Amino acid sequence: MATLCKNCAHALVFDPATQRMTCEACGSSFLPEEVEAESRAYRQELKAQSMQEIYGTDDKDMMDCYVYTCSQCAGEIIINGTEASTTCIYCGNSNVVFSRIAKQRCPECLLPFSITKEEALDIVQKRISKGVFVPKEIKHFTVDSIRGIYIPYWIINADFTDSLVIKGKVKSGKNSVTRYFGRAGHMRMRNLPLDASTMLADESSSRLEPFDLTKLKPFDEDYLAGFYSNVSDVTYSDLRNAAFIRAKEYFEEEALNDVKAGGKKVISSCPSLDVKNDMIYAMLPAWFITFYYKGKFNTILVNGDTGKVVCGLPWNKKLFYTLLIIAGILMAIPMFFVFKGMLQGLFFTGRRHSSNDSTGKLIGYIIAGIVALFSTGVHKVSKVVKNINRTQDKSMFNFTKKRQG
């Protein structure tokens, strides 16, 4: 439902810049706690009707959506079963699906948007403009849509314990030998946010962190006005599994960093997770910006609290490989003369054996450096490709697209 202006009865929306409810018609503004919808008590008792109940169809190909009537123009709004707020596609007014929040899944807390739509776009444009390999078309992309969406999160406290056996290689004289290392410990996780929407990939939502949870406010549906939102649709098992994966990753990363060896790998573990029963259900803000490029939609995420940008953009492969070849040639020329001089010293100057050993080691270090540099480049490219795949992920695009407006 829409929260109406006390002065002119026009729908109010939440403005991140002022942290107030504003009226675009008369210019009035109010604090969220100062306004309350007059029809709230009535609409709290209103239940959603399914399409099957309204249209009398049992077609298995049709999605069993929910239909609400806009409080402003009486137009029907069709949404999916997990959406908590939306915008009327007919009159454009903000509507909060109040029965889905008040009666079934009311969040305890909410972190209001502090980054405006204009600020989000400006942050993204500045970030993209610095990309050397970003195509010109993307640097000046046309926004297909930008939506502010409250993502549901469960904020949990948990204790994690694990004991690991790590295999790695260490130097022993001129050779490398395999060694085994044991690491065990206890880790306490406090205020860990976990994405509670199955429609959004955990890899994408986790990269939006951190959020400043000290700014959480008691839930008030007026903050949703002008934005979109989803409610939690995960099970406790889903939540516990997500917490387990995150905890295991953190623990293993720290354990591996503590081992001084090469080619490190965890070969066995015995993990245990205890999730506390003081979980908090909260909504956290994010801007979803989509644009079209070469037949594919790309989605950029911006943390609605901190402005952190999460994306992987298509890159100019021709320019990258051209510069790579040029750099290779420039490195090869001096390396040719270095190796030539070393070989001449080895075979024509009659140097002592110790000198030859030193020269051989130097050549080995140079070759190892080139291999390491090449491996780093391959790792960077694979990471970029992985980020691009996330940006072009269909589930993320559908998550954004299904928000009406």
Residue range 139-194, pLDDT digits in tens: 776 777 788 888 889 999 999 999 999 999 998 887 889 999 999 999 999 999 99
Cα–Cα distance measured from residue 143 to residue 62, given in angstroms and rounded to the nearest whole number: 31
d(CA 326, CA 330): 6
- Tens of pLDDT, residues 250-274: 999 999 999 999 889 999 999 999 9
Domain extents in the chain: 12-110, 117-314+391-401
Question: What is the number of other CB atoms lying within 10 angstroms of the CB of residue 318?
Answer: 10
Spatial distance between the Cα atoms of 343 and 125, rounded to a whole number of angstroms: 52
Look up the pTM and report it: 0.70
Name the DSSP letter for residue 349.
S
pLDDT in tens, 272-290: 999 999 999 999 999 988 8
pLDDT at residue 404 in the model: 43
Best CA proximity match to 11, nearest among 33, 31, 34, 37: 37
Q: Which helix (H) or strand (E) holds 234?
A: none
E strands present in 276-387: 280-293, 296-303, 309-310
Write out the E strands in 117-174: 143-172
